[in-house]
A and B are shown apart, each in its own frame.
Chain A
Amino acid sequence: MLLHRSLKTTTAAAAAALILATGTVLADPVTDDELVVNGELELATEAEPAAHLDGALGDRIYSGWRFRDTETRAMQKDDFDNPMFLFVDAGLEAWDTAEGTEGKSCADCHGAIEDSMKGLRASLPKVTDKGELWSLENFVNDCRETRMGAEAWGWNSQQMKNMTAAIGLQSRGMPVDVAVDGPAAPFWEKGKEMYYTRFGQLEMSCANCHEDNYGNYIRSDHLSQGQINGFPLYRLKDQGPVSIHQRFVGCVRDTRGETFQAGSQEFRELELYVASRGAGLPVETPAVRH
Chain B
Amino acid sequence: MFRMAAIGILAIGTATGALAEVAPDDILWQEDGSIAQSLTGTPGSAEEGERVMTTNALGNCVACHTIATMPDVPFQGTIAPELAGAAGRWTEAQLRGILVDAKRTFPDSFMPGMYKVGPFIRPGVAYTGAAPASPDDIEPVLTAAQVEDVLAYLMTLTE
Binding site for B on A (CB under 8 A): 3, 7, 11, 14-15, 18, 21-22, 24, 27, 197-204, 208, 212-213, 216-220, 249, 252-259
Q: Which residues of B contact A217 (CB under 8 A)?
A: 75, 77-79
Q: Which residues of A contact B29 (CB under 8 A)?
A: none
Check A218/B63 contact, CB under 8 A, given A203-B103, A253-B129, A256-B126: yes
B78 lies within 8 A of A15 (CB): yes
Q: Which residues of B contact A212 (CB under 8 A)?
A: 110
What is the interface residue range for chain B against chain A?
A: 20 to 34
Q: How far is the CA of A254 from the CA of B128 in the complex (A)?
A: 9
Does chain A have a CB within 8 A of B141?
yes
Q: Which residue of B lies closest to A21 (CB)?
A: B82
Interface residues of B in 43-78 (CB under 8 A from A): 60, 62-64, 66, 68, 74-78
A218 contacts which of B77, B103, B126, B130 (Cβ < 8 Å)? B77
Check A200/B121 contact, CB under 8 A, given A208-B110, A249-B129, A256-B126: yes
Q: Which residues of A contact B63 (CB under 8 A)?
A: 218-219
Q: Which residues of A contact B66 (CB under 8 A)?
A: 18, 22, 24
Q: Which residues of B contact A253 (CB under 8 A)?
A: 124, 127-129
Q: Can you list 8 A-B contacts with CB-CB less than 8 angstroms, sorted by A residue number?
A: A21-B82, A197-B121, A200-B122, A202-B141, A217-B75, A219-B77, A220-B75, A258-B122
Check A213/B129 contact, CB under 8 A, given A219-B63, A220-B75, A257-B122: no
Q: Which residues of B contact A213 (CB under 8 A)?
A: 79, 110
CB distance from A235 to the nearest CB of B (A): 17
Does chain A have a CB within 8 A of B23?
no
Q: Which residues of B contact A7 (CB under 8 A)?
A: 108
Interface residues of B in 88-123 (CB under 8 A from A): 103, 108, 110, 112-113, 116, 120-123
Check A258/B123 contact, CB under 8 A, given A7-B108, A213-B110: yes
B81 lies within 8 A of A254 (CB): no
Q: Which residue of A lies closest to B75 (CB)?
A: A220
Does chain A have a CB within 8 A of B131?
yes
Does chain A have a CB within 8 A of B138?
yes
A257 lies within 8 A of B124 (CB): yes
Q: Which residue of A lies closest to B130 (CB)?
A: A258
Q: Give me the 4 closest cross-chain CB pairs, A-B, nearest first.
A: A253-B129, A202-B112, A220-B75, A258-B131
Q: Which residues of B contact A24 (CB under 8 A)?
A: 66, 78
Q: Which residues of B contact A258 (CB under 8 A)?
A: 122-124, 129-131
Q: Which residues of A contact B110 (CB under 8 A)?
A: 204, 208, 212-213
Check A256/B77 contact, CB under 8 A, given A3-B108, A201-B138, A212-B110: no
